[in-house]
Amino acid sequence: MQHRGTAARRGFLLSAAALAVAPTLGLGANPALAQQAPAKLIITAIPDDGDADRMRENFGALARHLGKAVGIPVEYMHVENYAASVTALATGRAHIAWLGAVTTAQARMQMGTRLTLLGCRDIDKGFVSYFIANPSTGLGPVANLGELAKAAQGKGWSFTFGSKSSTSGHMMPRKYFMDQSATTPEKVFRSVAYSGSHDVVMQMVADGTHQVGALNYASWDKAADDLKARAPIVYKTPPYTNYALTARADLGPELLAKLRAALLSIDGSTPEGAAVLKYLKAGKFIEADIAEWQGYVDLLESGIDIGG
Amino acid sequence: MGAAGMSSVALPLTARYEKRPLGHFVALLAVLLAVLAAFAAAEWDWAALTDAERRAQAAARIGAWLAAFARPDLSAAFVAHAWELTLQTLSAAILGTALAVLLAWPLARGASRAVCVGEERAAGRSAHWWPWLRPWLRPWLRPWLRHFPLRSPSALLCAACRLLQDILRAVPDFVWAIILVAMIGLGPLTGALALALNITGILAKVYSELWDGVDESRYAQVRSLGGGRIATFLYGIRPLASRNVLSFTLMRAECAIRNAAVIGAVGGGGLGAEIWYQVRFGAWDKVGTLILFTLLLTLAADLASNYVRRQLRGDAARSGAAPASCGVVGDSTEKAPTSVRPEPPANATRPPRSPWLAAGFVALALSWSLWFMGWGNQAGEGGAPRNHLVPAAELFTGQAWENLRFFERLLSPELDLAALGLGDPEKAAARAAQGRAVELFADYGVADFWRPAAWAAWQAELQKWFVWRVVESAAVPLALAVIGTLLGVGGAILLTYPHSASFQLHAAQFTGESPALWQRLLRAMQLAAARASAVVARGVPEVMWAFLAIAFFGPGLVAGTLAIAVHTLGVLTRVFGEAVDNQPLARFEPACGASRATTYAAVAVPRVWRDWMTYAFFQFESNVRAAVVLGLIGVGGLGFQFSFNFEWFRFERAGTYLIMIILLTVLIDRGARLLKLSRVGR
């Protein structure tokens, strides 16, 4: 029995020693975070797509395009948590981030003027969410969400949002629901769940696990027809502003100007550009001003009841 | 003084014989009350079971799910991808666990009362610190002084270490990951370190409890020979508890390998994250493949840890009774590597080689995971290797620690004093004007306490106060954990019998029977079936069980409880079974002639009961914190609310929830420790 301790300890000592040595070996390749023009730019994105590989591939293409244009290597780091991408950007562990409206506002609230925008897609200024319902509810299209709340009252239906931090899968549907029905989903439905992503919301409403759900229009539009038939739209929200490509202001005006120009110049002529535009379902990137997202900051700061 | 000393020695002894039977009834009553409270505190919806139409619907949905899983995506590209993810998971998990053992060892030494504070039963010891205490009071107060941390510096250190380990495991691993992102950036190492921090808290807790669980009389001679606290630990406590410590370490390593979703959460990859990802995408064929890989990894980890355990367990336990069977103690049915068997010591002078084999195996696994994380991982641009160990150097820069300020607001929790009319008078007045201030006795005074309506009104008033809502949010996870853990523990106790190698393969050595070949075959098959179901129960992630349960029961507490119960069953069966198999067979011999089942119930279970309860309470505690499942089933609750607020960067509110989580963790932990103390009458 006594050999156990010694043997195990030796193993650990070895690992500790190796761990202490290993970083120093690679140190030369990793300069500390510089305030101006770092040797490598890190780009990250909120994980709003269900497919990590597809995100790696297409944001990798975006990273290569930006890297070629500014002459600094750009690397895409994939995260699977909304808050992690904002934290990385706000603490300087990432330099550029593809964020939704809510996450942009969160980053703005954390960083103030240290956050700037590179641009957004042409479709980002008119984003829409859908409310969908299982046919077994007998619910047809409703004129506004007050009607939906009235219809659902006392039925014991359950409701599902997508991800907690999602703009189109949680924040905006919730805001419109509260504005139009003067009540909260928690009070109307038997339970309110967060299923994780737009795709799962659609699947779960279609198979009747949840009776009603909310998701962004793009995920509904791209779904198969039989799925659409089992999860028909009952309400379309008014348009709102969504995603943006954000960056840290301390990259310096020169580098930021280059990055902006590189982003706006993306078109179908290069393989990378074509891949990015096709993946993001955009015609082109357009200029954006942080003021257009200020409404979200105000909304969050007003202490809106987000169910938490 | 002499008389007082005498009586204090006599007192616990008599107390033990009088108290013992009563304690069981108190425990049973407490469990019953907890169950009743769980059913009263939350809404349970059994409609999916009682309503025929919904039952049919649910069965159809489950069928669709199973059909989807039955067709895993076995295309070469995806299998290669899954294999890559498996390696990433393995390396990060091994590294995280190794670091955790390294950190947990000293922390647990501090947190174990037996090690850090030492003998307290000695007469007059506490009186030394409390000279003002009247002598006749001392025998009465002494048992309670044990729980007062300010009684001595070492007791204070012990309390501090316990609090630290409670915080380490109360904070969910994904939160550690986000905090580490700010410190060292994105990458698999960040996930591994987050895993290490979380497992440190878990291991330190269980180590310290196992060490405290060793009966003082068993190492009294080390002390009486003049051994100090460190000598007592090294030569008395540690060897006596080492089997269970090893079991639990290996079992956590296996858990880490399975549950390492956090590795991918911040830029690493790994199986756990990918499963969660594909689930959200609804690609069930890919999920099927990934779960298959997870199960294989779990099985491999199981076999590897059995191998290590077998090398290290020493021969003393079984060589006398069954030298021929030591080699297959683990599980011959799962194709354990039988080539290397610990040889029974041929002559006593030569030290056994097997510990070196085990150490070599562990060292090999560690060096591989370091190499893979550093140089072998081909995840870089165009398949180039990337050194993921590099970011660790960031820890030695000032910038990393400066970035911690980002989370500073967690330390100033939202107490919502305005609702109580405290703090800033202007804000309080504004709150009162809005009608959102707590006016507890507005409608009913204290004298109305006998009216049920008064209690309802008081609760409604209190709900306007944020902190009260935080406290109330603990009800749902507590209810879920009570029922889920009880179901899991009950199932695990039943499943441990067929799961135990001692009772299925080696029973002949203590029951005196000589089973026929077909009987032995039947038992081996039972063993294999039990182990397979345990591997599936714990190898399939909790989230997947939750998805299946939601498909069947619909979102709600019933689904969540079922998911938690199945997972608990899988995890506990493994440690319960190891606790039984760790018992030397000679201990079952007194029951010679009794049937195997009787021996199991009357000898084995009482022998390992204390270890079982340690594990069960630990599982209960971690079930209370389950957050992912809570969000999925749509019932809210403490852990979910915490991660919700954290992810929305509402750190002040998250801080309040965090305090509540830590408080609950501490309460359950101290409760478990207290219970055990009263059981043995120390």
> What ipTM does the predicted assembly reach?
0.77
Longest dimension (CA), chain A: 76
- Cα dist from A30 to B115, B246, B370, B396, whole Å: 43, 38, 19, 13
Are B277 and A26 a contacting pair at CB < 8 A?
no
**What is the number of CB-based contacts under 8 A between chain A and chain B?**
233
Strand ranges of the sheet holding A212-216, from the earlier edge strand across to the other edge = A191-194, A158-161, A212-216, A129-133, A233-236
Phi, psi of B154 (to 5 degrees): -70, -35
- Residue B429 belongs to some domain of the structure: yes
Q: Write out chain A residues lying below 8 Å of B635, CB-based.
A: 191
β-pairing, A244-248 vs A191-194, is unpaired
Determine the distance in angstroms separating the CA of B368 from the nearest CA of chain A, rounded to an integer. Answer: 10
Q: How far apart are CA B173 and CA B193, in angstroms?
A: 9
CATH code of the domain covering residue B604: 1.10.3720.10
Query: Is residue B592 domain-resident?
Result: yes
Q: Of the candidates A3, A109, A207, which has its C-beta nearest B61's C-beta?
A: A207
Same domain, B587 and B675: yes
Most confident range, picked from A157-161, B133-137, B332-336, B622-626: A157-161
Residue predicted with more confidence, B630 or B649:
B649
Choose from A55, A66, A79, A80 for mutation: most chain B CBs within 10 A. A80
Q: B538 and B422 share a domain?
A: no
Å from A26 to nearest chain B CA? 6
What 8-state DSSP symbol labels residue B236?
I
Average pLDDT over residues A278-284: 85
Residue B9 confidence (pLDDT) above 60: no
User: Please, are residues B378 and B385 in contact by the beta-carbon 8 Å criterion?
Assistant: yes
Q: Give how many domains chain B has, as a whole number.
A: 2
Range of the domain at B625: 472-680
Describe the crossing of helices B475-499 and B605-624 by its angle, rounded to 10 degrees.
150
Mean pLDDT over all residues of chain B? 79
Residue B612 and residue B557 share a domain: yes
Report, as an integer, the average pLDDT of A53-61: 86
**pLDDT tens-digit readout, B136-191:** 776 676 666 666 777 778 888 999 999 999 999 888 888 898 898 888 888 888 88
Cβ atoms within 10 A of the Cβ of B384, count? 8
**Residue A30, helix vs strand vs coil:** coil
The side-by-side arrangement of strands in the sheet containing A96-99 is A74-78, A41-45, A96-99, A244-248, A115-121, A285-286
**Chain B residues whose beta carbon lies within 8 Å of the beta carbon of residue A24:** 393
Q: What is the pLDDT of residues B200-234, one digit of tens each?
A: 998 998 898 888 878 778 888 888 888 888 888 89
CATH number of A41-123+241-301: 3.40.190.10
What's chain A's length in residues? Answer: 308
- Tell me the whole-structure pTM to 2 decimals: 0.80
pLDDT of residue B565 exceeding 90, the answer is yes
Same domain flag for B493 and B606: yes
For residues B447 and B478, membership in a common domain is answered with no
Length of chain B: 682
Do B497 and B438 lie in one domain? The reply is no
Within an 8 Å CB–CB cutoff, is residue B241 touching chain A?
no
Is the residue at B588 inside a domain?
yes
Residue with tokens 């971690």: B622
Nearest to A202 by CA among A173, A236, A234, A230: A230
Chain B: give the shortest CA distance to residue A120, in Å: 22
CA–CA separation, B603 vs B589, rounded Å? 9
Domain identity same for B525 and B437: no
Alpha helices of B423-506 — where are they, by DSSP H?
425-433, 452-462, 466-472, 475-499, 501-504
First to last CA, chain A: 51
B382: nearest CA in chain A?
A60
State the Cα–Cα distance between residues B463 and B641, nearest whole angstrom: 16
The fold of A128-236 is D-Maltodextrin-Binding Protein; domain 2 (3.40.190)
In A, minimum Cα distance to B353 occurs at: A3
Burial of B510 (0-12, 13-18, 19+ CB in 10 A): buried
| Burial of A35: CB neighbours in 10 Å, binned 0-12, 13-18, 19+ | exposed
- Residue A104's pLDDT is what? 93
Summarised one tens digit per residue, pLDDT across range B461-517 is 888 888 888 888 888 888 889 999 999 999 999 999 999 988 888 888 888 778 889
- B616 in any annotated domain: yes
Per the prediction, chain A carries an average pLDDT of 83
- The answer for B 397-416 residues in CB contact with A (under 8 A) is 397, 399, 403, 406
Q: Which two tokens stand for residue B388?
A: 């993921």
The answer on B482 and B557 residing in a single domain is yes
Residue for token pair 């780091």: A77
**Does the structure show a pLDDT above 80 at A12?**
no
Q: At what angle do helices B271-281 and A52-70 cross, to 10 degrees?
A: 100
Residue among B74, B73, B539, B570 at smallest CA distance from B295: B539
Cα(B196)–Cα(B15) distance, integer angstroms? 43
The least confident of A30-39, A235-244, B336-345 is B336-345
> What would the two tokens of residue B82 be?
């899954």
Contact residues on chain B for A5, CB-CB shorter than 8 A: 238, 242
Rg of chain B (C-alpha set): 27
- Subunit contact A83:B102, Cβ cutoff 8 A: no
Residue B42 DSSP code: S
Residue of A nearest to B359 (CA): A7
Enumerate the CATH 3.40.190.10 domain ranges in chain A, comma separated. 41-123+241-301, 128-236
Is residue B485 located within the same domain as residue B450? no
Q: Rg of chain A over CA atoms, in angstroms?
A: 23
Identify any residues that bridge with A192 across adjacent strands, giving them in sequence order.
A159
Burial of B3 (C-beta count, 10 Å sphere; 0-12/13-18/19+): exposed
Does residue A84 belong to the interface with chain B, where contact is any CB pair within 8 Å?
yes
B451 & B514 share domain = no
> At residue B31, does pLDDT exceed 60?
yes
Structure tokens at B679: 């059981």
CA–CA min distance B669, chain A (Å): 27
Chain A touched by B649 (CB under 8 Å): yes
B435 and B554 share one domain: no
Pair B445, B485 in one domain: no
